[in-house]
Structure 1
């Protein structure tokens, strides 16, 4: 598969290089966000955890003014790991794998050899839990389009469903879909807690360069609007997960 040094860059080689680079670059902004937001002790950014006090995100269909009228938000759920992620409008139904931090406290990536899985940052909130949860996935890999290939077409008002291990489904409604350049990634806006259960779904975005990979990341902002039981899941006893 190796090619001679100085040989012309063919279209096929360009495509292969593009997809290979994606594996390392798809989550570059997530990695950057986690890394840059650390404090002096090197802990995971508080913005990714289940606490209040972050910057509120104003977005389409989500007025936060005093006169705003919204349906009562469901109560935050206790912790329970994510099992799968579904985006009905895009036909996405993917299993979830937990993601952690590497030795340098950078977010790891979903496996490249299984491009149809979604990674969920297990150091942050689980589905429906208070705080800003983070889910990430590849846009494409060396084998072709990946789980979030069509994520850029998602629009405000659509839903994202995260099934939990306890059988409940946290349903989030999309507030906005925004693309940020790597050089100007707004950590606090993306990862900051708004005082309610929210979700960020992140993948590659923008133009692709054979030198630096994707120039941007696409971020879906969503908030919890419904909790329901997964069909045929065993009933919880005593109301416990």
Structure 2
């Protein structure tokens, strides 16, 4: 597997994740996905659990977020020809992806997982991501048989023009995880106008 350094991920854009997704229409009874509240937007350093020791590199196979009923396989994602993060197939609503040229979840650095919020058939894997709360658990099954256990530090929403690349993708000295989906405003011509981003760090493993 080809991998790049931890700092190289700062060049990744998530524009492709949201540009083609259609907001679900009222006739099928689905409303806009939840967005994080201001109370969830910033980590509280005093209440943050200490990071667990980093794990050796190992590709991930599955992500679980019990509080929002996510239990999804992971597929590897690369970059498009324009430098955007590629996306999982939109037709498989319970599939997420991880940026396989970067950090694997659990090792030192910033690992990236992304998935759709919805598709034309209904809610997709990360529809409820904006409803997460600080302190929630995220579990990642790894190919070496271990499970990386992350604790959510913050959930934030950004308009595309204000997306903080360095904050989201920048290098970290401890094992961290970002989970990203579409969010913010919506335009029928261009799709969602921003992203929901979950910030988490490794707090245990088994």
Q: How high is the TM-score relative to the length of structure 2?
A: 0.78
**Match among 50, 59, 63 for residue 81 of structure 1:** 59
Q: How high is the TM-score relative to the length of structure 1?
A: 0.67
Instruction: Report the counterpart of residue 16 of structure 1 in structure 2.
Output: none
The 5 Å alignment of 1:1-241 reads 25-27=16-18, 59-63=42-46, 72-228=50-206
Q: Secondary structure at the match of 2:168?
A: helix
* Structure 2, gaps ≥5 residues long: 1-14, 20-40
In structure 2, the CA distance between the partners of 1:211 and 1:194, relative to structure 1 (3 Å rule), is same
CA-atom RMSD in angstroms: 1.9
Q: Kindly name which structure, 1 or 2, has the bigger radius of gyration based on alpha carbons.
A: 1
In structure 2, the CA distance between the partners of 1:86 and 1:154, relative to structure 1 (3 Å rule), is same
Aligned length: 171
Aligned partners of 2:17 and 2:86 also within 8 Å: no
In structure 2, the CA distance between the partners of 1:147 and 1:174, relative to structure 1 (3 Å rule), is same
Deviations 1:19-53 (A, max 9, x none): xxxxx85346xxxxxxxxxxxxxxxxxxxxxxxxx
Over 6 Å off, 4+ runs: none
Q: Higher relative contact order at CA 8 Å, sep ≥6: structure 1 or structure 2? A: 2
